[in-house]
Amino acid sequence: MKRLCATLATIFALGLLAPAWAVQPDEVLDDPALEARARELSKELRCLVCRNENIDESNADLARDLRILLRERLVAGDSDEAAMAYLVERFGEYVLLRPTVNGSNWLLWAAGPLMLIVAAGLGVVYLRGRARAPAVADAGLSDTEKERLRQILEE
Amino acid sequence: MNARQCDECNPGAAGIGIGAGKTLEYKTIMITELGHFSLILAFMVAIVQMVVPMIGAHRRWPGWMAVAEPAASLQFFLTAFSFGALMYAFVTSDFSLKLVVDNSHSAKPMLYKVTGTWGNHEGSMLLWVLIVTLFGAMAAWFGGNLPPTLKARVLSVQSAIAVAFFAFILFTSNPFIRMAVPPFDGSDLNPLLQDPGLAFHPPFLYLGYVGLSMAYSFAVAALIEGRVDAAWGRWVRPWTLAAWVFLTIGIGLGSWWAYYELGWGGFWFWDPVENASFMPWLLAVLAFGFSLIGTFIVRSGLLTSVHAFANDPERGVVILLILAVFTGGALMLFALRAAAMEAKGVFGMVSRESMLVTNNILLAVGCLVVFVGTMWPIVAEMAFDRKLSVGPPFFEMAFTPFMVLIGLLLPVGALMPWKRGRFGKTLYTLRYAAILAVLAGVLAWVIQSGRSPLGPIGLFLGAWVVAGAMTDLWSRTGRGTGRGRRLMRLPRADWGRVVAHSGLGVTIFAVAGLMAWEVEDIRVAQIGDSFDVGRYTLTLDSVQEGRGPNYFTTRADVSVADQGRPIGVLNPEKRVYPVAGMPTTEAAIDYRFLRDVYVVIGDEQDNGGWVIRTYVKPLVGWIWAGSLLMALGGVLSLSDRRFRVAAGAGRRREKAVPAE
């Protein structure tokens, strides 16, 4: 959905102006499999001087340096994890667009599921309450309410 | 003083042209000044409208309550005049106004002179408050069927919001500040905003989320009133629905995803059968609260994003304060009054109502995930001393499951009967939709080989939602002969629901297709080179330099052929706006029903070639079509006479079924 909206934005608004000369032809690796890995990893890395852009999309010089550095590591034979670890070691976890699940970050990752469980629990309790509500409630609107509704509808 | 200075140093600065004479110049100055005064007057009127009708409603004094209506109209006209004056200053390039100097240029095309009025912090806040007062005035004009006390309270609460924003504008972001020494020309609008899509999306977006302020005002007024019933739900519905439609259009024009996620559903599926439940409030309050949080995020510079064009911590703090007062106040009122408004009405565990509750839960949790993800970098830095980022990969992973769940449940919920239903029966009705969806998914899986499973899954989900909506529509026509005729006579609300749900399905389908089957190509091309991207052959024919009204451009001719058959010439551009000192890229797009070809030109290389990026984007147009369908569904539903309480209800009373 995030992607949806990003896409929407790109198409309708930025479609005509996206500064999208990100990956340069001279950076592209000869090995397509390696290049595909580099592209995927690039999307997970933040361009440190940009406003919330990944290095795959950014046209900043730093992003270019990072792209080349990443490709060098991959060519040197690093696994995806090792290449990422290499970059995190040098630039800090700020460079990761997908936060790791360690330390306090578990709260971030668990927020959705936890909230869903809590909300679902409350919802079930609420629905059960409504299902068992006394039959009096079935009488529907009270007389005063009926009168008001009638007035409204006649206007 | 300003007028004299203007005369001395820059006679033509007001955009009238040299020799046009002083009288015109003074008139320009006067109009701007009048705009400033009328803004202050509107602030005063808003304060009166906030206080007097509220007391009147409490004490049951009709005279005091009656103040609200003329005050709401007056407030709107004064603000509209003020906004018009600012726009006039932009159109005539009155460079004695600081705002115009900072955001305009005499050579800028007229369209962007007009839209430049809201293409900046001060002007956009003025637009915001204009829309708040517009909605207030609309409630005054069309709210004749509301009980007097409720109406007075609604207008009073709406005015309280306006007061907060008037004060914010006048004290921290006044658009009418003058230059002591007006310069010859302005420093131009951010080139990124000089685009039709971005130029018009703020007004729609604001109509949408400021429209939610009406829902907020109704909710708070009802809480103060202490009674909420079936009638209340009917009054609020058109406002939230209209706001939702505007929101959808605004987003379609190039929106900001966060608002989209908040705005897209909660109100749409909401029917006021089960009125006293806490969901409507919570969502109305939440939605408006979140729109304020959005403003806070944009204006504070606390989070950096491309949208944060006004970074000023002080302003941010003020908006945060406004946010705290309004949401905190409403939630407290809710806590105090909740017990007094015990819900009535019984429904089973499996029913339309419970599906609506599920829908709201999923939306609320999805919304929370987005919220937590957005705020987490700040929390982590302040509380845990960790500087980290939360980006698209997180949101995709954490948010998508909720959307998929909603998509899966949507047709089931829409077909579930009110009060009491059975899963098996509803699912049986949907059997053809399910078969169709599975077939579509399998087909996509077979055709593509070895690519991500996203396409087939999205196709399945999209087909499921669309086919489910069709089943929904068909099942409303009953049995036996004459179903086609009955189809046309179905209430518009039914049509609206089906159209909007189909729109969502189309959009899901399009996004999945785009993500799974997009083709990208990056290369250096010499003039005259041909290359293949997917089934298309592109040829770089030539590259020329040129100039537009306020920019220089480098423009390429790229001819495109589909399997040898020429289909057109695309002209991607690279522009430089010298005044703003910014380059922009203008992609060239060949729009097609099934796919777009999208070409961007990059830098010239040392050996004379040009960097060319080409994308073949399947189904993108469908995303837009889906959003339009959703908006259309909203409009259809809004036009259903059963929900326009005031219009024609007396004449056709038998149609007015309160239950649905």
Instruction: Report pLDDT for B199.
Output: 67
Say yes or no for a CB contact (<8 Å) between A7 and B507.
no
According to DSSP, residue B579 is labeled T
Answer whether B470's CB lies under 8 Å from B410's CB: no
Answer whether B419's CB lies under 8 Å from B347's CB: yes
Confirm whether B319 is domain-assigned.
no
- The span from the CA of B588 to the CA of B162, in Å, is 42
Q: How confident is the model at residue A28 (pLDDT cuts 50, 70, 90)?
A: confident
* Cα-based distances in Å from B215 to B154, B221, B283, B431: 9, 10, 9, 38
B521 CB-contact burial (10 Å; exposed 0-12 / middle 13-18 / buried 19+):
middle
Query: What domains lie within chain A, and their CATH numbers?
Result: 2-95 (1.10.8.640), 105-154 (no CATH)
What number is the average pLDDT over the span A104-108?
Answer: 84
Confirm whether B5 is domain-assigned.
yes
To probe the interface with A, which of B390, B529, B584, B605 has the most A CB atoms within 10 Å? B390
Confirm whether B359 is domain-assigned.
no
User: What is the distance in angstroms between the Cα of A38 and the nearest Cα belonging to chain B?
Assistant: 15
- The span from the CA of B314 to the CA of B300, in Å, is 7
Nearest to B587 among A16, A46, A112 (CB): A16
Instruction: Report pLDDT for B333.
Output: 67
At residue B586, φ and ψ (nearest 5 deg) are -110, 105
Displacement of CA A40 from its chain's centroid (Å) = 15
Given the structure tokens 């709401």, which residue do they identify? B72
Domain boundary pick from B145, B164, B194: B194
B466 CB-contact burial (10 Å; exposed 0-12 / middle 13-18 / buried 19+):
buried
Measured distance between the N- and C-terminal CA atoms of chain A, rounded to whole angstroms: 43
User: What is the distance in angstroms between the Cα of B389 and the nearest Cα belonging to chain A?
Assistant: 5
To probe the interface with B, which of A52, A138, A147 has the most B CB atoms within 10 Å? A52
What number is the average pLDDT over the span A92-118?
Answer: 84
Q: B546, B510, B540: which is closest to B526 by C-alpha?
A: B540
Confirm whether B83 is domain-assigned.
yes
To probe the interface with A, which of B257, B422, B617 has the most A CB atoms within 10 Å? B257
Q: B125, A64, A88, B444: which is closest to B117 by C-alpha?
A: B125
Answer whether B229's CB lies under 8 Å from B276's CB: yes
* Cα-based distances in Å from B594 to B125, B151, B480, B597: 40, 50, 38, 10
- Going by C-beta distance under 8 Å and a sequence separation of 6 or more, which residues neighbour residue B226? B337, B340, B341
| pTM for this predicted structure | 0.72
Low-confidence residues of chain B, pLDDT below 70? 1-29, 191-199, 227-234, 237, 247-248, 250-320, 323, 327-328, 330-353, 417-420, 449-452, 479-480, 641-660
**Nearest chain B alpha carbon to A25:** B523
Confirm whether B548 is domain-assigned.
yes
Displacement of CA B164 from its chain's centroid (Å) = 22
Does the pLDDT value for residue A141 go beyond 50? Answer: yes
Does the pLDDT value for residue A132 go beyond 90? Answer: no
Displacement of CA B348 from its chain's centroid (Å) = 35
For residue B520, what are the β-bridge partners? B615
Instruction: Report pLDDT for B139.
Output: 87
Confirm whether B511 is domain-assigned.
no
What number is the average pLDDT over the span A13-30?
Answer: 56
Contacts of A51 in chain B (CB under 8 A): 304-306, 308
Contacts of A16 in chain B (CB under 8 A): 195, 197, 586-587
**Nearest chain B alpha carbon to A122:** B361
**Domain encompassing residue B146:** 1-194
Say yes or no for a CB contact (<8 Å) between B393 and A120.
no
Confirm whether B634 is domain-assigned.
no
Helices then strands (H, E): number in chain A? 6, 0
Task: Tell me the per-residue pLDDT of B255-273, one tens digit each, with 9 for 90 and over.
Answer: 322 222 222 222 222 222 2
Given the structure tokens 């080409």, which residue do they identify? B614
Say yes or no for a CB contact (<8 Å) between B376 and A108.
yes
Contacts of B584 in chain A (CB under 8 A): 17, 19
Nearest to A13 among B254, B348, B395 (CB): B254
Instruction: Report pLDDT for B646.
Output: 42
- The span from the CA of B498 to the CA of B415, in Å, is 11
Higher pLDDT, B130 or A123: B130
Given the structure tokens 């995803």, which residue do they identify? B257
Count of C-beta atoms within a 10 Å radius of residue B302: 17
Mapping DSSP to helix (H, G, I), strand (E, B) and coil, where does residue B659 land? coil
User: What is the distance in angstroms between the Cα of B196 and the nearest Cα belonging to chain A?
Assistant: 8
Q: A-B interface: how many C-beta pairs under 8 angstroms?
A: 250
Contacts of A17 in chain B (CB under 8 A): 191-192, 195, 584-587
According to DSSP, residue A10 is labeled I
Instruction: Report pLDDT for B60.
Output: 87
Angle between helices B121-142 and B22-59 (to 10 degrees): 50
- The span from the CA of B192 to the CA of B590, in Å, is 22
Given the structure tokens 């302003």, which residue do they identify? B315
Sign of CA dihedral B279, B280, B281, B287: positive
- The span from the CA of B122 to the CA of B371, in Å, is 26
Displacement of CA B200 from its chain's centroid (Å) = 11
Fill in the amino acid letter for B461.
L
Confirm whether B606 is domain-assigned.
yes
Q: What share of chain B is helix, strand, coil (3-state, %, to 5)?
A: 60, 10, 25
Say yes or no for a CB contact (<8 Å) between B397 and A11.
no
**Total structural domains in chain B?**
2
- The span from the CA of B248 to the CA of B235, in Å, is 21
Instruction: Report pLDDT for B264.
Output: 25
Instruction: Report pLDDT for B104.
Output: 84
- The span from the CA of B288 to the CA of B208, in Å, is 10
The DSSP result for B522-566, as a single string, is: EEEE-TT-EEEETTEEEEEEEEEEEE-SS-EEEEEEEEEEETTEE
Instruction: Report pLDDT for B496.
Output: 79
Say yes or no for a CB contact (<8 Å) between A43 and B393.
yes
- Going by C-beta distance under 8 Å and a sequence separation of 6 or more, which residues neighbour residue A114? none
